[in-house]
Structures are given as C-alpha cells and as structure tokens.
Amino acid sequence: MSVQETLVRRHFFPLPLPAGPWRWEQLWADLLFMHWPVPAHALRPHVPARLDLDTWDGSPWVSLVAFRLKRVRRRWLPSLGLVANILELNLRTYVRYRGEPAIYFLSIHADSRLAIALARLLTPLPYRLARMGYHRDGADCRFQCSRLHGPLLDVCFTPHAAACHPRPGSPAEWLLERYGLYAAGSQGNPVRTVVEHAPWQVQDVAVHLTANTMGEPWGLRLSHDPELSHYSPGLQAHVWPFANPEGATMPRAGSG
C-alpha cells in the first residue's frame, strides 16, 4: 500500500472500506462538473425506491461530469491499453441509503466500444456509446458529445483561480465528497460499490453551454447554465466490486 493510500484510509476516508481488496484502479483527468437543482417529482421515478433522494437547500440535484479516463488497470495487472485515454460523460444524482450519502448514475456515455462492452459485462452501470471530442487551446476547453439523433452536449469552459479543497459545509463539498456509488441491479434493486480516492481539489470555471439535451430522457431541463460548476485536473481512484447493500457480493455476469 502506498503512502497516499495509507493516509486516505487512516485520516480521511469517510466510509468503512469493504472487506476485500479494491479491484480496479482508474486515472481520471480534466474533469468538468456542472450542477443543477431539479424538481423532486421529475427525478424520483428514475431512482430506485429503496434509495432516498438527497437534497441541498430543499432540492435534489443532478450533475454532468465530462472527463478523460486516462488509465484503467485490474489489481496486480498492468494498464489495459485498449481502454485507456477514452472520453466519458455521466449524468448523476445524489442519494442516501440508510443515511449514507452516495451517487446514483442515470446515464454514462463513452466513446470506446470495447470499454463499453467490458463495463456492461463487469458492472451494472448504464453505459452507452457516443461520439465525443475534448479540445484544449491554452486554458480554453471544449467538450462535445453526440449520438445519431444530434448533439447531447456542447460546452466551452475555462478553468481559473487556484485549485483548492471544497469548503467544509459548502454545496461543493456536499456535491463532490461522496464515495459510495449505487446502480440498478438486474432485478431493479440497488447495488453498491465504494470508490476510494484523495479529497477533490477543484478550480472555479467559466462555462458556456451551446447545447445540452442530456436531461431530456428523464424530463429534466438542463439547457440553461449550471447553478454551480467546478474543474479538476484529476486524480487516481480505486474501485471495489459491486455488491448488494446488505453485504452479499453481486454475482458476475453470466453466473447463476
């Protein structure tokens, strides 16, 4: 275990770690977070009933997160080069299960057929294929995502100010500092994993949306500028296998 891992586990990490070892290591880079409050009545039908919607200032929130997945490796194995340096865009919301704050993904898009096939085989996460581009000119960035029917997201953004940890008790801390992750299992019941990483360091970012239809399948209007936005240069994360929240490990795909 590295010094960083030891510090995270002993002095920071807010959740009990699963009994077994982490299974996957990922390197996330150039992350843009955009956040919106949304009506609970629009969001509730799309989240498993066993998960409570978490709220800030009386509203549930959703976030779009665009980033580069620069490296993926299985524990004890080298990086999977064929699924490195891919682009991802996820739409997530914020939930609680028995009081524990967590994230729930509504959708995940990526630009690699192989990565999506592996993710669908190994996890219950809702991956879909899309065309994506991430371009940078100095400090100015542009992220684009589209499918056959047209653009899903087209956003220009410019990070500014120094990177820092979210202020304790702030909306940024509430949105970002979550390490439990839920997804809908094969029977529609939630399954859980833990994602371990160092605390986020984020920068303020100026955002200009040209197109955003990502919320439409869920009846969410996200075409206006986000209420809050953040940028992070990135970090390394460790991911455990999905399990049911009562403690039993989720069967692998294809098992009985």
The percentage of the chain sitting over the pLDDT mark of 70, rounded to a whole number, equals: 89
Predicted confidence band at 101 (pLDDT cuts at 50, 70, 90)?
very high
The residue count for the chain: 256
pLDDT reading at 85 higher than 90: no
Distance CA 87, CA 218 (A): 23
Distance CA 182, CA 252 (A): 16
pLDDT reading at 9 higher than 60: no
**140-147 and 190-197 as β-strands: parallel, antiparallel, unpaired?**
unpaired
Four-residue CA torsion sign, 208, 147, 94, 6 = negative
* Vertex 29: Cα angle to 83 and 178 (nearest 5): 100
* Vertex 82: Cα angle to 81 and 84 (nearest 5): 60
pLDDT reading at 81 higher than 80: no
Q: What is the CA radius of gyration of the chain?
A: 18
Distance CA 182, CA 51 (A): 9
Give per-residue pLDDT as tens, 47-76: 999 999 999 999 999 999 999 998 888 887
Query: CA 203 from chain center: how many Å?
Result: 18
Confidence at residue 19, expressed as pLDDT on a 0 to 100 scale: 80
Give per-residue pLDDT as tens, 177-235: 999 999 988 777 889 999 999 999 999 999 999 999 999 999 999 999 999 999 999 99
